[in-house]
Structure formats: C-alpha cells, structure tokens
Amino acid sequence: MSADSALTLVSATRTFDGWLKRYKHRSQVLNCDMVFAIYLPPQADTAAVPVLWWLSGLTCTDENFSQKAGAHRVAAELGIALVCPDTSPRGLELPGEHDSYDFGSGAGFYVNATQAPWNRHYRMYDYVNEELPQLVREHFPVNGREAISGHSMGGHGALVLALRNPGRFTSVSAFAPIVAPSQCPWGEKALAGYLGSDRESWKAYDACELIAQGDSKQALFIDQGDADNFLQEQLKPELLEQACWKHKHPLVLRRQPGYDHSYFFIASFIEEHLRYHAGYLFETHR
Amino acid sequence: MSADSALTLVSATRTFDGWLKRYKHRSQVLNCDMVFAIYLPPQADTAAVPVLWWLSGLTCTDENFSQKAGAHRVAAELGIALVCPDTSPRGLELPGEHDSYDFGSGAGFYVNATQAPWNRHYRMYDYVNEELPQLVREHFPVNGREAISGHSMGGHGALVLALRNPGRFTSVSAFAPIVAPSQCPWGEKALAGYLGSDRESWKAYDACELIAQGDSKQALFIDQGDADNFLQEQLKPELLEQACWKHKHPLVLRRQPGYDHSYFFIASFIEEHLRYHAGYLFETHR
C-alpha cells in the first residue's frame, strides 16, 4: 500500500452483525482530507461482496444515510457492502464556500469544476467515479460488482455516473433525483458556478441530456414522493419521463403518494431498491 | 376538548404507509410547552391500535428514535403506535439548566423533582406516566393496551414506570438501561440534584431497589451491548441480574457481542423488541 492510499480508521460500529466503518484519507483528486463510510455486511468476513454506492444530497455528509435510511438490515441479509462518500471537498476555506447550502461545501454536485477557485478541489465526479472506487477495491473484500443509487443531488450523481459509464454499474436507482440540472434553480446555480456560463459544458452532467445522447440504455429505477416540496421547482421528473419516452430509454418511475423529500421517504423504500440491485449484483447469467 | 389539552401539529411525515406526527402542547405538569412524536401505523386509519411508549436517553429529543431506530417498518407491519416524549422540560432558563449534558435540559431522568428550582418544572415521571398518556388517549385512535421501552436513561425510565405500576403496561423492555441510578455517577448526580441528598427518596426511581421491594413480578427484557463505553461505570447490568436472582424476578438480559451504546445498536434489535411487545399487546387470553 502506498502512503497516498493510506486509510485512517475514524470509527467502527457494530450494526446488524456487520460493521459500519468510517475512514479518513488524503484525496489526490480533491486536494484535501476526506471521510467516507463503508458498511461491511457479515458475509464480508468470509467472502468478497458486491458494493452499492450511495450518493447523498445537499448538506449531507457520509453519515446521514448510515444513520437514517435503515439500510444496514437488508444489506446484512443480502450481503452487499454500502459505500457512502461525502458530498463535497472538506476542510477548505475557498471564498464563499460555506455561504449557502446549495453551493460549495456539502453541494459538490458530483461534477469536475472548471472554474477558479473551485477547479483545484471540486472534482467530485472523478473522486466518486475513480479515486474512491480504487481505494475501496484496494482495501476491502469486494468482488468488483457495483451498483449505484442516491438521493436528490445524489440521485442526479448516480444517474449521471451510470449513464456516462455504460457497463460500469450492474444497476442504478435514485430517490427524488435532480433529473435536469440545466433546467432548475439548484442545478443552474451549481453548474454555472462550477462549470461557467457555457451551457454546452453542462450537458455531461445532466441526466436528461445524457438520455438524449443515448450512450447508455441501462434501465433507471426511480422513486419520487408526490408530496415532495421540491417536486415542481427543482426535481421535475416529467422531464426525465419525456426524455426516456422520446429516446426509448427504459425507465420505472414511481410516484409515491404522500411522501416528502426526507430520509423517512428513503427509509420507506430502501429495501425495495436494495432488492432491485441484488437482482443484478448477484445475477449469474449476464 | 379543553383548551388545556389542545395539540398543535408541528409536522406530519409519511413513513411506511403511516404517519409520523409531531405535536406541541402546553404541559400543566411541567409548566412549559412540550413537543412529542407519535407514529401512527396504517392500521390506525381504520381501527384503534396499541401503543409502545419509547423513552429516550440523555441529550435526546422526541426526534432521535424516529429518525435513527428504524422502528416504523415493523410498527407498520404489526399495527403498533409509537409515542416518543421529549427527555426534559424545554424553553426554560433555570440556573445551570443547560450547562451539562447529564443534568437539566435533555436529562430529566423521568423523576418528579422535589428540590428548587427544579421542582416547579422537572416532573417528568408524572408527565410520561399520566399527563401525556391521557392526552394520547384523548386525541388518537388507541385501544388502551400499552407497552414501554427505552434506551439508557430512557431504559431506566421504562423499567421504573413498569415496576412502579404493576398491570399498567403489557410488557417492558430496555436497551442498555441505567439499572441502578443510586450506584452510578449519572444517577447520583441526577437524583441528588432533583431529589436531594436523602438517598431513601431515590429508591422510588431505582430499578434494582424496586425489584427488591417486589411490588411487580413483570418480566424484564433487556439488550446490552458488550462494547458499550458506559457499561462498567454507568450501566452495571450485573446489579440488575443480582437483584432479579435474589428476589426471583423474571429477567432476560442479553449481552450482544460487539455492540456499543449508539442508535445502531438499537436499530439492530428494535425489531425483536417490537415483536416481543406485540406478543403481549395482541394477546387475547389474559
């Protein structure tokens, strides 16, 4: 193990006969120290297991999903490791970085920034797509099969990573994702800030645009609460439905009556998502 | 409904096809405004349901259990309402009230204080034993069958309420409870502060003492992590084992290997506790 890939254990907590472990490491991509969480199910004691990547939403760290989603129970049953990255670089003091909840710290949007001063650190796309997966493969008993999911900004991240990397993930799902960041206030603020005003450069981080480009035909599995405060202004699932219909992209989008944008919504349906991913992660005939 | 028992809805969140509702009300017992949470399972839409009282530990509010225990799923399956009181009076500025995590706000210890200035407000025993149950029965579709559980300071509260009120609860369980507050630093600080230095007055709030008094023979079901940081200094389950053995009080105390004091421990075993209580709450032959 090189010094560059060293992990420092932050905490280890027994949960559902597995271990939730949090690690600190120096990210070369982000030029800062980062913390991530991995849930290792009991099966990982004796065998290599598949991984579900979980990308969190605005203001979250690696901790929210672990504490609130109730996912460990099903992951322990199925034998799936859960990896939760943080949502932005940390420990920096860039100008304005901590001023708003929807830009800068806690709001990396899973893009590689091109605009100063963000471009030296805010490269969350490469971090979650390359650097952190490499670290996980080096340090943990994983078998190379990986699925991805996420919530809101993290749902956007999951869709973008999957659509841009056909074959990389066995399966992709999302909870209340930002499906068209080029067409909503959260996304426009973030993409303009990190990538600049040329909207052409935004397309690589916009699920609806990627559907139109058509590089991937991987099925999308999405749950969306119909009492979500952000539904009409920010999330706009109808734009994804239209793009998928137009470009014949397979989509299951479920509107869940009465559910909001909170982790209570995620907790209510995470079991179905984990079992959906298990169907692909453990598929024997590919 | 009298003005005194009015409830103001703070929030309503859909979770596992039921509703998590938080209410504010004026407590006559505590002389302040309080918030509590109730999870109403889907069965409550059409029938009266039994209640599990959950008493939380130091520093908690009504929210921790709802967010982190993963209990709604099983409560929704079984048809049990969950009521989560706060852990102390709120909104006050008594001298020193907010200075430490283990006394004053967030640390009511489920006692009726007799010492000034606490005695005007810190009457959490009566609040959780009488005032709040009465409110719940007035306002929600509950059937009068009630069980009780809790964590740490709240485990102490659950044991004390059950042992002092034989027949009141169908069943009682606890996670990592303070079983002998008269014999540990947390309890000695709280009981001395709220009740004064006469240790005789502490006995009514000490599970081991209540076992010795023998008014109740209700079975106790307890889980305790053996990697709990507070095990030896504060929790001392061996004292409860000795008291139960000496006084022939039925006890199931499970030491769970590797588990700590966190909500991850609670989440890992809450399903077994809920199913344990369901066995009593839905018992047809009494």
- Give the model confidence (pLDDT) of A97-111 as tens digits: 999 999 999 999 999
B233-244 pLDDT, tens digit each: 999 999 999 999
- Tell me how close the Cα of B259 comes to any Cα of chain A, in angstroms: 5
The pLDDT assigned to B227 comes to 98
Please tell me if residue A285 touches chain B, with a CB cutoff of 8 Å.
no
- Across chain B, mean pLDDT equals 97
Q: Please state whether B144 falls in left (phi above 0), alpha (psi between -120 and 50) or beta.
A: left
B227–A14 C-beta distance less than 8 A? yes
Confidence of residue B286 (pLDDT cuts 50, 70, 90): low
B156: Cβ contacts below 8 Å, ≥ 6 apart: B109, B110, B150, B174, B177, B178, B179, B181, B187, B205, B207
Chain A nearest-CA residue for B226: A14
Residue labelled with tokens 């973030």:
A190
Backbone angles phi, psi at A116, to 5 degrees: -70, 145
Q: Which residues contact A86 (CB under 8 A, 6 or more apart)?
A: A34, A35, A36, A56, A61, A62
Chain A: residue whose CA lies nearest to B76: A268
Q: pLDDT class for B11, splitting at 50, 70, 90?
A: very high
Confidence (pLDDT) at A155: 98
Residues in chain B: 286
Closest partner residue to A73 (CB to CB) among B70, B225, B262 is B70
- Percent of chain B at pLDDT > 70 equals 98
Residue B27: HSE in the Cβ half-sphere, 13 Å Cα cutoff: 32
Q: Where are the alpha helices (DSSP H) in chain A?
A: 63-68, 72-78, 124-126, 132-139, 153-164, 185-195, 207-213, 237-246, 263-281
For residue B117, is the peptide bond before it cis, meaning its omega torsion is within 30 degrees of 0?
A: yes
User: Which residue of the set B25, B121, B151, B261 is catalytic?
Assistant: B261
In angstroms, rounded to a whole number, what is the distance separating the alpha carbons of residues A76 and A81? 8
The shortest C-alpha distance from A258 to chain B (Å) reads 6
Amino acid at B285: H
Contact flag B264-A15 (C-beta cutoff 8 Å):
yes
Strand partners, A78: none
What average pLDDT score do residues B112-138 get? Answer: 98
CA distance B41 to chain A (A): 13
Write down the pLDDT at residue A3: 46
Residue type, B176: A
Residue of chain B whose Cα is closest to the Cα of A259 = B14
Smallest CA–CA distance from B39 into chain A, residue: A264
Q: Do B265 and A70 touch (CB under 8 A)?
A: no
What does the pLDDT read at residue A284? Answer: 78
For chains A and B, CB pairs below 8 A equal 63
Q: Which of A260, A262, A268 sits opposite B16 (nearest CB)?
A: A268
pLDDT-based confidence at residue B57 (cuts at 50, 70, 90):
very high
For residue B2, is pLDDT > 90?
Answer: no
Query: Residue B228 catalytic?
Result: yes
Q: Look up residue B75 and give its two tokens.
A: 């409560």
How many Cα neighbours within 13 Å face the side chain of B284?
0
Tokens of A89: 């670089």
Question: Terminal CA-to-CA distance of chain B, rounded, Å?
Answer: 33
CA B28 to chain centre: 20
The residues, any chain, with a CB within 8 Å of residue B245's CB and separated by 6 or more, are none
Among the CATH numbers 3.90.1530.10, 3.40.470.10, 2.60.40.1180, 3.40.50.1820, which is that of B8-282?
A: 3.40.50.1820
Q: Is B68 within 8 Å of A72 when comparing Cβ atoms?
A: no
Taking 70 as the pLDDT cut, the residues of chain A under it are 1-5, 285-286
B21 and chain A in contact, CB less than 8 A:
no
Residues 6+ apart with CB under 8 A from B55: B85, B87, B110, B128, B148, B149, B150, B151, B153, B154, B155, B157, B158, B161
**A70 Rama class: left (phi>0) / alpha (psi -120 to 50) / beta:** left
| Interface check A225 vs B, CB under 8 A | yes
Report how far residue B175's alpha carbon sits from residue B160's, in angstroms, rounded to the nearest whole number.
Answer: 14
- Does B225 sit within 8 Å of A264, measured CB to CB? no
Determine whether the interchain pair A73/B267 forms a contact, defined as Cβ–Cβ distance below 8 Å: yes
**Which residues on chain B are in Cβ contact (under 8 Å) with A271?**
73
Q: Is A125 helix (H, G, I), strand (E, B) or coil?
A: helix
Asked whether the beta carbons of residue A16 and residue B267 sit closer than 8 angstroms, the reply is: yes
Query: Active-site residue B261, yes or no?
Result: yes
Contact: A20, B267; criterion CB under 8 Å: no
CA–CA separation, A258 and B120 (whole Å): 41
Q: Are A267 and B73 an interchain contact pair (Cβ–Cβ within 8 Å)?
A: yes
Separation in Å, CA B154 to CA A154, A172, B124, B130, B190: 36, 41, 11, 16, 13
Q: Is A39 on the interface with B (CB under 8 A)?
A: no
**Once rounded to an integer, what is the mean pLDDT over residues B51-75?**
98
> Considering chain A, what percentage of its residues have pLDDT values greater than 70?
98
- Smallest Cα–Cα separation from B26: which of B135, B141, B109? B135
pLDDT at A286: 53
Question: From CA A46, how far away is CA B159, in angstroms rounded?
Answer: 40
Which residue of A lies nearest to B271 if distances are taken between CA atoms? A73
Give the mean model confidence (pLDDT) for residues B141-170: 98
Nearest CB neighbour to A14, from listed B68, B260, B263: B260
The catalytic residues of A are 152, 228, 261
Separation CA A36–CA A16 (nearest Å): 19
